[in-house]
Structure 1
């Protein structure tokens, strides 16, 4: 999901339709929407996709009603907003998103009532490898490609996500002052839980025979950055077919560094990874980028990822 590319037409059309409906029917003010209802109802909060939804539910607790925009099993950057969803974004006390992942969301969010999680942490650059120039130009023409200067997959580093949790608590407290302390307390608790997860990863990946991750696409840069691993993505974008040159480069590197596992993803076809694994004499395993809801929750899925990494990289307890 690093090379995000989507037309903004859907978001713009939905926003235009919303404006028409608003003019005809009227709507509540942003100031009213930014707090919980006067009868003690919950603050309405929107989260763009699963990891942010999980985090917002933890911090929001019983004081917030959290709506996720992206359904399970859907790639976040494939999201097309309905009129109802655009309305939810307009009326939300707070929208939690990451700019650049979902262009339709970027177009529809209200600047005064939105929180871009990427602004809370130090980001890392987007993947640096490139395909042949002609292939890149074709992808841009087909998908309306818009390159990000940073890697958006920050939720795969529990330490960074803990920082986001703290900032989210502050933003929710400002949006719903009546429950400010509850948001801040739950943010601190969530940050501590993520700190424990970070310690588990640090210890679990401290002694590995190889520290090279060959992944279907470059989604694990923050995980690699945090735990001193080396990520080698077959592609930048899960929708882009790698060139023969790129496959050859990755195969050569994988053999040289003793890679025994090529990582695939549940929402991406494993065919290319399987071809590469056959060339290298390796096996494949699923490493979940958590872009969509897993069978459990964020914490259990991340711990499953840790076990997968330990096995694939030959880490000793």
Structure 2
């Protein structure tokens, strides 16, 4: 009986050691890859999809918009500790141009994803040039991530940046980027005929983030300037009421997370409907791909204009 017990223990121990050795072997075969940090949600999502399972991809400032965002000391440390930092545009994330990794003893590569994208000037500022007190960042519209075709182009650019940083996996990144670009083009192709048949081509937004969307699909975006998430003043409400009456506005699109005070004030003073049109600056945290989230935005707009 004792021999059987000893034999059973030996077999169990041998099996445990064998499993442990196997696990160590598998762990040794896993490549840690690059440590990549990105700026806001669209870039994070695209980098994550193009990178696949090759790298550790993380994002700073995941729960807030990007326009007023300034990186914390912890964010800066995370960037300097990374192998690669990818951001959208110096027009949007001007703070990225102030990073000084060499002075901090960091070898991180700081990469701009939208370098080759055709940025357009903000409507009304087409004839102005940077300089003499005019900041370039105030002239150009950075919201290219709301046009599916430009999303595809930025995915390809990200694929090239990753390929240059990690040549052994270059083909993998480029293939993932090409697949994403194809999906983005299909999304544009899906909504082009929908918007072309829309009875209305004009929409009104609190946040004028959708100029590239409008350009892509032959629409016109009108913005209500100076309306924040706080309760509008009586003067602002009077101006908005005049705007609504002049353009026969039925719906005003607000940002996700707009305050109840804003919604109630606009609704009671103008009688218009308020609907959310998400500019996708903060992480929706819904486990959808970026293009799936963008499709939801386009569908919301299409339903309003049909």
- Which TM-score applies when normalising by structure 1? 0.72
Task: Indicate conservation of the 8 Å contact 1:127/1:236, yes or no.
Answer: no
Residue of 284, 287, 311 corresponding to 2:303: 311
Shift of 1:99: 1.6
Q: Which moved more, 1:95-104 or 1:271-280?
A: 271-280
Q: Distance in 2 between matches of 1:259 and 1:57?
A: 39
Shift in CA distance, 82/217, structure 1 to aligned 2, threshold 3 Å: closer
Matches within 5 A, 1:270-309: 271-272=261-262, 274-296=264-286, 297=288, 298-309=290-301
Matches within 5 A, 1:146-157: 147-157=137-147
Shift in CA distance, 241/101, structure 1 to aligned 2, threshold 3 Å: farther
Query: Quick check: 1:214 aligned with 2:210?
Result: no
Matches within 5 A, 1:239-250: 250=240
Report the equivalent of 1:227: 217
Q: Distance in 2 between matches of 1:256 and 1:237?
A: 18
Task: Indicate conservation of the 8 Å contact 2:230/2:262, yes or no.
Answer: no
- Count, aligned residues: 262
Q: Distance in 1 between matches of 2:231 and 2:122?
A: 18
Report the equivalent of 1:90: 80
Shift in CA distance, 103/300, structure 1 to aligned 2, threshold 3 Å: same
Which has the larger Rg?
2
Aligned-residue CA RMSD in angstroms?
A: 3.1
Q: Distance in 1 between matches of 2:227 and 2:37?
A: 26
Report the equivalent of 1:102: 93
Unaligned runs of 5+ in 1: 1-37, 130-144
Q: Distance in 2 between matches of 1:236 and 1:160?
A: 28
Q: Comparing both chains, which one has the higher relative contact order based on Cα–Cα distances under 8 Å and sequence gaps of 6 or more?
A: 1
Shift of 1:222: 1.1
Report the equivalent of 2:111: 115
The one-character-per-residue Cα deviations of 1:210-266 (angstroms, maximum 9, x if unpaired) are 211211121111111111111111126857987877755554444344332110111
The one-character-per-residue Cα deviations of 1:94-133 (angstroms, maximum 9, x if unpaired) are 322122433443422759822323322101212438xxxx
Q: Which moved more, 1:210-219 or 1:197-206?
A: 197-206
Report the equivalent of 2:55: 64
Structure 1 SS opposite 2:196 = coil
- Which TM-score applies when normalising by structure 2? 0.74
Q: Distance in 2 between matches of 1:99 and 1:233?
A: 24
Task: Indicate conservation of the 8 Å contact 2:61/2:71, yes or no.
Answer: no
Q: Distance in 1 between matches of 2:239 and 2:137?
A: 23
Report the equivalent of 2:254: 264
Shift in CA distance, 198/268, structure 1 to aligned 2, threshold 3 Å: same
Matches within 5 A, 1:117-196: 117-128=113-124, 147-196=137-186
Shift in CA distance, 127/244, structure 1 to aligned 2, threshold 3 Å: farther
The one-character-per-residue Cα deviations of 1:250-299 (angstroms, maximum 9, x if unpaired) are 54444344332110111333544553444443211000000001143322
Task: Indicate conservation of the 8 Å contact 1:274/1:284, yes or no.
Answer: no
Q: Distance in 1 between matches of 2:232 and 2:112?
A: 31
Shift of 1:62: 1.2
